[in-house]
Structures are given as C-alpha cells and as structure tokens.
Amino acid sequence: MTMLVALPILLPLLAAGLSLVLGRFATLQRLLGVVVFTANAVLAVVLLAEADKSGPVVLQLGGWDAPVGITLVADRLSALLMLISMVVMLAVLVYSIGQRITDYGRSTSSTAFHPMYLVLGAGVSMAYLTGDLFNLFVAFEIMLGASYVLITRRTTATRVRAGMTYTIVSLTSSLLFITMIALVYAATGTVNLADLSGKVEALPVGVQSAMALMMIVVFGIKSAMVPLHFWLPDSYPTAPAPVTAVFAGLLTKVGVYALIRTQTLVFDHGESWTLLLWFSVITMIIGALGAIAQNDLNRLLSFLLVSHIGYMLFGLALYDVTGLAGAILYVVHHITVQATLFLVSGLLTRHTGTVALRGMGGLAKLYPAIALLFAIPALNLAGIPPFSGFVAKLALLEAGAEVGTTMAYVATGAAVLTSFLTLYAMAKVWVFAFWGKSKPPHPDPDPTDELIIGTGSTSRTMVSATSALVVFGVLIAVFAGPLSEISTRAATDLLDGGPYRTAVLGEEAE
C-alpha cells in the first residue's frame, strides 16, 4: 500500500518521457495522457480510502528514514485534493485533445503540449504528497517549469510578453521560497514538515514570526492573495482556454494547500489569526470589485478567482475545525468550478471571436447548450443553493459566526458581500453575452497563434468534457454530506498534527 504513494508522481513523469519518445504517434500520445490521469485519479481514491480508514499513508523514499530522507505522505487532505485535481486535469486534457483535433487535425502530435501537461500533473501530485519543505519547493518548480512552456508556447510576441510577467513573478517568489527554506534550515536543522512542527516552537518568537511571514508572502504570491495578486489577471487570460482552465483551477489552489499545510502543521496559532483575516477580507472585496469593472470575460473570471481565494484564507484564518473544514470544502468546490468556467469561456469565445463582453450578444438563443453549461457553474460560484458553492460558503459563514470575534464578523460580512458581488458580475456576463441582439462573430486577429477564436466550431469532445466537469461540480453538492464529514476529519487532523507526526517520524517522536 505504501508503494502507491510514489506512483502519482512517477507515473506522469514516466509518461512524459514516453510521450516525448512517441512524438510522432499522435493517438498513442493522447491515449497515454488520458490513461495516466485516470490512473492517478484511481490511485487518489485508493489513498483517500486508506488514509481515512487507518491514518496517513507514509513512504520513505530510498529507504532513508524521516528527518533525513525524502518523505511522501498521503493524508486525508492531500489525497482528497489530489483526487479533485486529477479529475479536473483529466477533463481539461480531454477538452484540449478535442480542441487540437478540431483545429489541427487528427494526426497532430506535439513534443511540447502533452509531455509538459504530464509534467505539470506530476508537479501537482508531488506538491500534495511531499512531506518536506524542500520537496515542496521542487514540486512548485516542476509545476512552474511546465507552466512557463504551456503559457507561452505557440503564441504571439505580445502574449509572450504577458507570459513574461508570470515568469518573472514566479521566479521571484521561488527565490523568496528558497531563501525561506534556508532560514528554516539554519534555525532548526531540518526541512521535514513533521520534524519542524516540534522544533519551531522552541525558537524565539521573532524568528518564528519572520518564518511565518515569509511563508505567507511566498504562498501568497503563488495563490494570488491581494495585494500579491497583480500578476494573475494580466497573465492567465493570455493562454489558450484549456491551459488557463487548468492554471486557474489548480496552481493557485496548490498555493493555498501549501499555506494550509504549513500554517497548521509547522506553526500553531492557537486562535483566529487577525492578520490573515484582514488579508482575506481585502482579497475577497478587491477581487470582486475588480471583476465587476472588467469588460474582458477572461479577465473578469481571473479577478473572481482572486476574490474567491479570500474565502479559503478566511477559513484558514479562523483556525478552528469548522473554519478549516470549510476552507477544504471550498478548495474542492473552487478547483472544479473555476476550471469549468474557463472551459466554457473557451467554448464561448470560439463562437464570438472575442473575449470582450460588449462584442458578444444573444448567445442564449444561438447556443442554448453552452448557455446552460455557463449558467450552472456561474450560479455555483456565486453560492446559490443547491450547488456546492452554497454548501462551502455556508460552512465558512457558520465557522465565522462560531468564532464570534469582531474581526471574524467583519470577515463573515465581507464573505456575504463578495457572494453578492460575484452574483452581480455573473449577471453582468449573462446580460451582455447571453441576452440582447446577436452579433456576427469577430474574425481571428492572428491566425498563427494557438488562441484560435472565432472559428465557430466546437467539437463534441470539447462540449462533452466541459459537460462532464459541470456534472462533476454538481455531484460535489450531491455528495456534500460525506465530503463535509471527510473535510471535518481532515481539519481535525490538521489542527491536531499528532497522527501526521507519528506516521512520519514513528512512535518515539510523540
């Protein structure tokens, strides 16, 4: 059983290698990607079941024991998030395959897209599974390395320039990350998360705060927390739709996961955390206001993404079981719904030829199926019952009221307000794009790049991949009961930390 923990990382990497070797065989390449992500999702289910039944599944790589060697840990939180991420990556891959077949024909193979997508998958799995800080850094680098290629490949000079913002900001945050690791190692002599959790408490308060703050800045940049979010709305919308979908769905949420993991396991705050509550409030409000001001559909969705990161920070900042469980539930909900919305936006722009809301109109009459595909995740994101967004938001609001400090009430109020602002932004999209007079599609301004828009063609594969993701988002609401139970158990684990430490370091550590 423990061996299985390494597979979600090694399988995609191996497949990436094979995918490069098979560069000329398009069908095999596609099949390989689909099989690997399916296998990873199955592995995640197995690991989740095992972690839920008998505690974290731990693997010490190379037979070197915990504080020295590389540790992989699958506990409830990491297995759950990995499951959702792999399902989303699979759906986006299928969408992408559909788009590539429509645009370039069945025989198109690629030595960049498929391998890099698989490497991205390996990085995401590794970020969830790793048990030490340095390998978390490595996982982020693997993800980012692949994402640099995916965001800038086959595109125009202006878009490469937009991609440079992303690259430079990511490199800066990586630099801070490695500095932070050096600081942690100098202060404690270990980078193993479980080992750190015991040792950090012995440090002077100043050193502890410095470390915690650096982690917030590093993971704040990765997860687009206001005021460190500035890079996101400028860079994400420039990539092709499926790439944006997977970035928006996963990469920021991996940052949130890293924040949750380090701030619960390594640092013990004990009570709700005012600083992070403030950050969550401004993230929610500024993101939502930014979204309302946009005319570009993808930029609007990007600002909403920033805004909803605030909800997860809110849950973490409350620092009790209900709050954390809400945050976990929110991550699960948001990964799915945000990826879905970007895929739908991809479908829409192929018919309109533009991302400008003022350039669209009357789509509800022309493409009722796509209108429905947009409406469900849009209402879901805004938190309208009976969708998963409602369940997750309700959990967070309850937690806010439970904590009951002034700041918690302020943040709860901000969360409710943001929910309305989100609904307003979505209504704006609906009014501009789906109602009104229909307009002729805009011609493609630059046929050489991969952002082929205005072709008017959406293949059945693309639509069904999007529909599958919409259905998956609805299923999250259907299984909200067991899901919230499992996230409550995961949150209890996080705040306790005992089982994780025992599983990694062995009995004598406790």
Partner 1 sequence: MSEGPPRSQPSGEKKRRTSLWEEWDTPQEHWLLVGSHRDGRERSLLLEVAARIIFPTVLVLSLYLLFAGHNRSGGGFSGGLVAGQAFVVRYLAGGPMEVRAAVGLRPPVIIGAGLSLAVLTGLAPIFWGEAPLTSAYVSMTLPVLGDVHVVSSLFLDMGVYLLIVGVVCDLLRTLGAGIEEQSPRPRRRPSG
Binding site for partner 1 (CB under 8 A): 2-3, 6, 10, 13-14, 16-23, 59-63, 70, 111, 115
Q: Which is nearer to partner 1, 20 or 34 (by Cβ)?
A: 20
CB of 110 to partner 1, least distance (A): 10
CB of 15 to partner 1, least distance (A): 9
Instruction: Give the separation between CA 459 and CA 105, rounded to whole angstroms.
Output: 12
Q: Which is nearer to partner 1, 67 or 473 (by Cβ)?
A: 67
255: nearest Cα among 174, 153, 339 = 174
Radius of gyration in angstroms for the set of CA atoms belonging to the chain, rounded to a whole number:
22
Q: Which is nearer to partner 1, 111 or 455 (by Cβ)?
A: 111
Phi/psi of residue 64, each to 5°? Answer: -90, 130
Which helix or strand (DSSP H or E) is residue 60 part of? strand 57-60
CB of 111 to partner 1, least distance (A): 4
Tokens of 97: 């395959």
CA distances from 378 to 156, 264, 476, 479, 500 (A): 31, 32, 15, 20, 37
CB of 72 to partner 1, least distance (A): 9
Q: Check if the beta carbon of residue 139 is closer than 8 Å to that of residue 174.
A: no
CB of 172 to partner 1, least distance (A): 23
Q: Up-side HSE of residue 376: CA atoms within 13 Å toward CB?
A: 25
Q: Check if the beta carbon of residue 125 is closer than 8 Å to that of residue 9.
A: yes
Q: Which is nearer to partner 1, 59 or 215 (by Cβ)?
A: 59
Tokens of 440: 């002729």
What lies within 8 Å, CB to CB, of 395 at 6+ separation is 315, 322, 325, 326, 329, 330, 484
Q: Which is nearer to partner 1, 117 or 219 (by Cβ)?
A: 117
Q: Which is nearer to partner 1, 62 or 270 (by Cβ)?
A: 62
Tokens of 298: 């993808």
Q: Which is nearer to partner 1, 61 or 203 (by Cβ)?
A: 61
CB of 218 to partner 1, least distance (A): 26
Tokens of 325: 């469980």
CB of 71 to partner 1, least distance (A): 10
Instruction: Give the separation between CA 420 and CA 426, rounded to whole angstroms.
Output: 10
